[in-house]
């Protein structure tokens, strides 16, 4: 099992190298453009999709059976580099003995225009997760029903988890009344 996870490339029976997996192959065969990024450390396939195709792509994954959004989060790939919105999806079944099939979808966004469509309308569990990513990284989820800060005060300036964020020396709490 550990040998499978080491590389995203696998030798097929013919000796050719495959750089995709079953899910990526299904998406490609159905006309959904994306880039296969390989397998993560747990063997979960990672797919990169352009932001303008995220909603049709996510809808296709939902139709394919990925009915559960395990985690939506973001990260900063470095000061001056892209911000990334990630979605960890699972295909849950009624059979408790089967291991859920999983996939991770990543959307790389330019720092100067970090906008991506909200997947709230596909998976309701994206609600607070997208709000937290917005609050910490400044990624704007277009179409989200209530996109506002969830962890920081409403009047906070900046996004604390960005690698180029400068922590203020002083913050005055406003009177709540």
pLDDT digits over 9-33, tens only? 443 443 333 456 889 899 999 999 9
Contacts of range 142-149, beta carbons closer than 8 Å, 24 or more positions apart: 142/115, 142/116, 142/117, 142/118, 143/117, 143/118, 144/118, 144/120, 145/120, 147/118
- For the record, the structure tokens of 140 come out as 């704007």
**What topology is assigned to 2-142 in CATH?**
Beta Polymerase; domain 2 (3.30.460)
Interacting residues of 51 by C-beta distance below 8 A, sequence separation 6+: 107, 109, 115, 116, 117
pLDDT at 168: 78
Q: How far apart are CA 75 and CA 82, in angstroms?
A: 9
pLDDT at 171: 65
Note the pLDDT tens digit of each residue in 117-142.
999 999 999 999 999 999 999 999 99
- For the record, the structure tokens of 24 come out as 């990526």
Cβ burial, residue 150 (10 Å; 0-12/13-18/19+): middle
Rg (CA), the chain: 19
> What is the pTM assigned to this prediction?
0.83
List of the chain residues with pLDDT < 50: 1-18
C-alpha distances in Å from residue 59, one per residue of 27, 69, 78, 156: 11, 12, 30, 34
pLDDT at 176: 56
pLDDT at 9: 43
pLDDT at 79: 84
Of the candidates 3, 91, 5, 90, the one whose C-alpha atom is nearest the C-alpha of residue 40 is: 5
pLDDT at 36: 93
3-state helix, strand, coil in the chain (%, to 5): 20, 25, 50
């Amino acid at each position: 099992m550990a040998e499978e996870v080491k590389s995203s490339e696998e030798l097929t029976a013919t000796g050719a190298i495959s750089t995709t997996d079953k899910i990526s192959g299904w998406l490609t065969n159905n006309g959904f453009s994306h880039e296969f990024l390989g397998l993560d450390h747990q063997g979960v396939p990672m797919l990169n999709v352009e932001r303008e195709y995220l909603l049709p792509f996510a809808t296709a994954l939902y139709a394919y059976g990925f009915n559960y959004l395990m985690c939506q989060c973001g990260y900063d790939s470095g000061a001056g580099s892209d911000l990334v919105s990630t979605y960890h999806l699972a295909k849950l079944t009624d059979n408790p003995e089967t291991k859920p099939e999983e996939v991770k979808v990543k959307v790389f966004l330019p720092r100067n225009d970090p906008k991506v469509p909200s997947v709230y309308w596909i998976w309701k569990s994206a609600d607070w997760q997208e709000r937290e990513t917005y609050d910490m990284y400044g990624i704007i989820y277009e179409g989200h029903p209530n996109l506002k800060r969830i962890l920081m005060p409403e009047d906070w300036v900046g996004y604390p988890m960005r690698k180029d964020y400068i922590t203020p020396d002083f913050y005055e709490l406003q009177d709540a009344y």
